[in-house]
A and B are shown apart, each in its own frame.
Chain A
Amino acid sequence: DAGVTQSPTHLIKTRGQQVTLRCSPKSGHDTVSWYQQALGQGPQFIFQYYEEEERQRGNFPDRFSGHQFPNYSSELNVNALLLGDSALYLCASSPGTGNRGYTFGSGTRLTVV
């Protein structure tokens, strides 16, 4: 049973560029959430997708956007990259939107130079 799959695992981008990160949720899970984990910090909630709609959003600028597809997979897009966007981006999936605990992927390490 595949867990949460994220791609790519590592990525290097230049300031001002745009990036797309991808996530396939665990089988049976229909809700995807995205978190940003800066070095030495705990994960911070970016947003959550359910039924192809953004349901809740954390304190992140509009440069961060997302999408969920009918097969429940999701993308995280970040525009106009800043050096401060360098972080580990974690995708988490869950069955439904209730707070019963996530399954996390291994993350995408984004480095902005």
Chain B
Amino acid sequence: AQSVTQPDIHITVSEGASLELRCNYSYGATPYLFWYVQSPGQGLQLLLKYFSGDTLVQGIKGFEAEFKRSQSSFNLRKPSVHWSDAAEYFCAVGPNTGFQKLVFGTGTRLLVSP
């Protein structure tokens, strides 16, 4: 079965500190991988995506993620967090062929302390 696990429900980071959000997936084949961010009362915004090639991908707002096939992981990182990064972050996986359908994790809520 396809699934995504985000083990951290909440994470609190001090402003200016580094951030890593964990994502592990279970998928039958090599999937496409995504990170989305959701601010309160808003839809989801795509931060970055991995399809193939270089396993370190860069996204918007200074975020990056690394695909590790051996660990079935796609962790999101940011070297210095800003207060505006406080939001809910979702990891998602989908097929690399055929119709698009994403399976999302349950999300990690990021709190940024001053």
On A, residues with C-beta under 8 Å from B are 4, 31, 33, 40-45, 48, 50, 55-56, 58, 90, 92, 94, 97-107
Instruction: Tell me which of A43, A92, A99 contacts B96 (CB under 8 A).
Output: A99
Q: List the B side residues contacting A45 at CB < 8 Å.
A: 101-103
* Bound form: Cα–Cα A85–B4 in Å: 23
Number of interface residues of B (CB under 8 A): 28
A102 touches B104 (CB 8 A): no
A101 touches B46 (CB 8 A): yes
Smallest CB separation, A25 vs chain B (Å)? 13
CB within 8 Å for A40 and B106 given contacts A97-B99, A99-B96, A104-B43: yes
Smallest CB separation, B51 vs chain A (Å)? 8
Could you list 20 A-B pairs, sorted by A, with CB under 8 Å? A33-B101, A40-B106, A42-B107, A45-B101, A45-B102, A45-B103, A48-B100, A48-B101, A55-B99, A56-B101, A99-B32, A99-B94, A99-B98, A99-B100, A100-B49, A100-B51, A101-B34, A102-B44, A104-B44, A106-B42
B104 touches A97 (CB 8 A): no
Q: List the B side residues contacting A97 at CB < 8 Å.
A: 98-100
CB within 8 Å for A102 and B106 given contacts A4-B43, A42-B90, A107-B43: no
On B, residues with C-beta under 8 Å from A are 4, 32, 34, 36, 41-46, 49, 51, 90, 92, 94-107
* Bound form: Cα–Cα A103–B98 in Å: 18
* Bound form: Cα–Cα A97–B97 in Å: 9
Q: List the B side residues contacting A40 at CB < 8 Å.
A: 106-107
Instruction: Tell me which of A31, A48, A90, A98 contacts B44 (CB under 8 A).
Output: A90
